[in-house]
């Protein structure tokens, strides 16, 4: 098994990696689109995963064929998602707390690096009770281009003063995996809704079934 004992910084995606949010994004989006007469399947949803909210908004406007209606559907689906998060309808992924505690105990810096807005990040980590595990939150608000562009990871290196070889990225989705690899950082893949393509998986330092096994990489 690959050993990451020399790593000083861990950059975490959030949706589908730490928090089981992707299914909730899909169900709330599906509910709102159905209200306006648009079918929305799990296959359709694959195009929306881990691309950031501007991309989602654009896709909904294109789907609606009307910018105003697309914006309305985006706003309503985000509000419904927020309401469900606050109501406790989102949970942590298996092993997340244990791995975060392991890294904290070993003095390894922990950052969320997500395409979501900072407001969404703060809402999510607060409502699942993990805000105190992170050194800081880095969001899609901090960069011009969201994943799969490497901007968020290049920005993370800059603000943490980390060298690429000192950091490791944990990602579940293709866009995030590509972002981390393009930034020149080692990537650990923990798949969520979709398995990684073989050509991506072979460039990862590890592919794990869950975060339950992640601590072993650092020992």
- Determine the Cα–Cα distance for residues 6 and 123; give it in Å rounded to an integer: 32
- Determine the Cα–Cα distance for residues 66 and 62; give it in Å rounded to an integer: 7
Short-list 52, 30, 55, CA closest to 41: 30
pTM of structure: 0.82
pLDDT, position 51 = 73
Could you read off the pLDDT of 99-118 as tens digits, one per residue?
999 999 999 999 999 988 89
Q: Are strands 186-189 and 109-113 parallel, antiparallel or unpaired?
A: unpaired
Short-list 81, 86, 145, CA closest to 115: 145
- Determine the Cα–Cα distance for residues 10 and 145; give it in Å rounded to an integer: 21
Short-list 204, 113, 192, 128, CA closest to 159: 113
- Determine the Cα–Cα distance for residues 93 and 150; give it in Å rounded to an integer: 25
Could you read off the pLDDT of 68-88 as tens digits, one per residue?
999 999 999 999 988 988 888
Residues in the chain: 219
What ranges in the chain are assigned the alpha helix state H?
A: 22-35, 42-45, 53-64, 67-86, 96-105, 118-127, 151-160, 174-182, 198-201
Helix 118-127 to helix 67-86 angle (10° resolution) is 20
Could you read off the pLDDT of 20-71 as tens digits, one per residue?
888 888 999 999 999 999 999 989 988 887 777 888 999 999 999 999 999 9
CATH homologous superfamily of 9-20+91-218 equals HAD superfamily/HAD-like (3.40.50.1000)
Lowest mean pLDDT among 23-27, 39-43, 141-145, 174-178: 23-27
When pLDDT is cut at 50, 70 and 90, the band that residue 9 belongs to is very high
Place of tokens 């648009």: 38
When pLDDT is cut at 50, 70 and 90, the band that residue 1 belongs to is low
Q: Where are the domains of the chain?
A: 9-20+91-218, 22-86
- Determine the Cα–Cα distance for residues 61 and 46; give it in Å rounded to an integer: 17
Cβ atoms < 10 Å from Cβ of 110: 17
Instruction: Please give the average per-residue pLDDT across 154-159, as a whole number.
Output: 98
pLDDT, position 82 = 87
Tell me, what DSSP letter sits at residue 217?
A: G
pLDDT, position 39 = 94
Q: Residue 19 pairs with which residues in a beta bridge?
A: 15, 92
The answer for residues whose C-beta is within 8 angstroms of residue 109's C-beta and 6 or more apart is 8, 9, 10, 135, 160
Q: What are phi and psi of 191, to 5 degrees?
A: -60, 145
């Amino acid at each position: 098994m690959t050993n990451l004992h020399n790593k000083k910084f861990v950059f975490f995606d959030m949706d589908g990696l730490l928090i089981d949010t992707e299914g909730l994004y899909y169900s709330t989006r599906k509910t709102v689109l159905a209200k306006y007469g648009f079918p929305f399947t799990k296959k359709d949803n694959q195009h929306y995963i881990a691309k950031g909210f501007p991309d989602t908004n654009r896709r909904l406007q294109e789907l609606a064929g009307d910018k105003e209606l697309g914006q309305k559907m985006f706003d309503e689906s985000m509000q419904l998602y927020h309401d469900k998060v606050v109501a406790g309808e989102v949970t942590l992924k298996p092993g997340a707390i244990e791995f975060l505690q392991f890294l904290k105990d070993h003095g390894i810096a922990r950052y969320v690096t997500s395409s979501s807005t900072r407001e969404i990040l703060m809402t999510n980590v607060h409502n699942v009770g993990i805000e105190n595990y992170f050194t800081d939150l880095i969001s899609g608000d901090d960069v011009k281009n969201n994943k799969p562009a490497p901007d968020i990871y290049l920005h993370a290196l800059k603000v943490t003063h980390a060298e690429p070889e000192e950091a490791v990225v944990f990602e579940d989705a293709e866009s995030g995996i590509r972002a981390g690899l393009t930034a020149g950082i080692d990537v650990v893949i923990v798949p969520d809704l979709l398995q990684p393509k073989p050509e991506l998986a072979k460039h990862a330092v590890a592919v794990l079934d869950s975060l339950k096994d992640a601590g072993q990489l650092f020992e």
